[in-house]
Every structure is written in structure tokens, then in C-alpha cells.
Structure 1
């Protein structure tokens, strides 16, 4: 994919998010920064991770909201309007255990049929790590603090609250696997 995909992803995310959703854009930039750091454990897949990290929340853009579920709306936008790489669209659709939230919203079968989860655990974990260690403002955080922040923002009984409580053990496991992979990298 190379640098061109990263530049394209950045231009696209900035165009869709920076003006209408500046806080979401700040989060996206922070997630992309984490992806650059984590890319070392992925080798040739680092560019795909960076593109997915940069575009993971594009479905929040007001003009793209169709279902109200940003992973699905974003992946459809990438597929339908941009003919994006299928793996990229699948990563965006499934980022941070989105299938669990899709189930809460009655969209689980639809998401799974259109954008099956990639059978590439390290890549999937890396995107979870990037998203779930970044605050809404783009700063660094722990996964535990991020889950608590999401619960506080949405409420424990909301769709997102129910989802994040279900997903938390999986999120924490992904974080542990990526931290272990990073620690094993030669310095």
C-alpha cells in the first residue's frame, strides 16, 4: 500500500471529520500516531494499520450517517464511494470489537455478512490497541481509563455502555498481546 494509502486516508479523514467534528478528528490523529508506533510489530502490514487507524471513525461524519452505527457507515462509505481495499473496509467495520455493538443494535448479522472479521489477530489487536489507548482528544491513556471514560460518557445502560462492558475483557486482552509484542521488539 505504501505512503500513498496513508496520505489518501489522512486527506479523506480530515475532509470528513476536521470541520464538523474537530474532537473526533483530534482522536483520529492520536489513533494514527499510535499506529505509527505499533507498526513496527506488523512489518509489511504497518501501512494497512495506519490507514485503518486514520479512517476508523470516518463513519461519524454527519454526511455519512445512514444506520447511526459508525463502523458500518464508515466501511460502506469506503467500499462504495472509494472502492477501498477490502481488508481496510473490514478493519474499519470491525474495529474495537464493533461486532458486539452491532449485535446490541440489531445489526450484527448485517455487519458480519458485509464485512467479515479478518482472520489476522495481530492486525486486529493492533487497531484495538491504537483506538483504546487514545483519549477523545487524541492523548494517551490506558485501556482501563478509556473504557471508564466511554462508560461515563454514554452511561452504563446505553447501547454503547452495554457494548463496552461486554467488550472490555476482549479489549484488555488485545492490549496485553500488543504490549507483549512491543516489549519483544529489539530496541
Structure 2
């Protein structure tokens, strides 16, 4: 994370997660590390992705959990407390198909109205890839194994389990698009 935005993002995420949610902080660091693998693919947007990667779960911080839906809580915190870059806030709000979970929580209208999904699908896919190929402990994994881990952790009857089951095909498609773009890069 070399850019100024990414350095700031890391400081904010660390301040909110390191002491209260160390495992979530480890995951966020792993997701940010994964983002560095996409630097050449994203060019000038690499710093933005690295920033969104390290901040994507900031809404889990206990003091920020207003609605209990971490993408929305994190995005509101970044917008309201930090006047963060709009694209960054929208990526955090919509990471890993959050609209589908928001729908199940009755919050889709709020999420869409406040933080519309970015038109740049490269960035959206890249953040899905980074999040869904990183374990809760911050290690690299396959998207299939990550989805299985989430299902095992939450169970099939839990709201998150139902969301993951519904979102899995789109998550796997997004990850596949990023993997194909990486494979097509000149070595």
C-alpha cells in the first residue's frame, strides 16, 4: 500500500479493528495484501482498491455498528466522519454483493440511495476477488473454500448463510473474471 489514500485507509482500519476485532483486522490486512497482486491490472485505481480492501469490514467495529449491516455502517462512517472519497465509500458499501444481503435485511433501498454501485465493474470484481479469496485469518484461499467456510461458520438457516448461498454464483463469476484478467497479463 504505497499511495497516500491507502496509507490513510490502513490507519483508519487499524484504529477501528486491531484491538476490538483482531481476527477481522487480520482478514482486512490479508484482503489488502491480495489487492497488491492486482496493481498492474488496475493501474491508477490500484490505490483505490487497496484502500477499499483494508476498509471493507470497518463497519464491524463495535462503535460503528449502528444498523448491524457492516457495509452500510462502514460506508456511513467513512462518509460522515472522514469525508472519504466517494468511490472508496461506494466500494466499501457494496463490497462482495452487499446489495443482495441488504435486500434480506430490508436495507437495500437505503444502500442503493446513499451509495449507488460503481459503474466500474473492474473495481467491483477486484474487491470481490480480494475479499472472497482471503480467509478470516488473512491467508489466501480459493473462492470455493471461502464460500464453504462462510456457510459452515454461519449455517444454512442464518441470514448470512442464505445470502451467501444466493450470491455464490455471482461471487464465483466475479472471481473468475479477475482470474482470467490476471492470466491474460503479459509475464
Bin for the TM-score computed over the shorter chain: over 0.9
Q: CA separation in 1, counterparts of 2:39 and 2:4?
A: 16
Aligned to 1:30: 30
User: What is the TM-score normalised by the length of structure 1?
Assistant: 0.98
Supply the RMSD in Å over aligned alpha carbons: 0.7
**Residue in 2 aligned with 1:21?**
21
Q: How many residues align?
A: 186
TM-score between both structures, scaled by the size of structure 2: 0.98
Cα displacement string for residues 93-113 of structure 1 (whole angstroms, at most 9, x for unaligned residues): 000000000001010111001
Match of 2:135 in 1: 135
In structure 1, C-alpha distance between the alignment counterparts of 2:40 and 2:61, rounded to whole Å: 30
| CA offsets 1:31-81 (integer angstroms, 9 cap, x no match) | 000000112211111010000001000000010000000000000000000
Equivalent in the alignment of 2:163: 163
State the 1:186 CA deviation.
1.2
SS in 2 for 1:80: helix
Runs of 4+ in structure 1 over 3 Å off? none
Alignment of 1:67-82 (within 5 A): 67-82=67-82
The answer for the alignment partner of 1:113 in structure 2 is: 113
Aligned-partner Cα distance in 2 for 1:166–1:119: 22
Equivalents in 1 of 2:172, 2:122: separation in Å?
14
What stretches of structure 2 of length at least 5 have no aligned partner? none
CA distance in 2, matches of 1:10, 1:85: 15
Shift of 1:30: 0.3
* Equivalent in the alignment of 2:99: 99
C-alpha separation in 2, matches of 1:3 and 1:138? 21
2:180 corresponds in structure 1 to 180
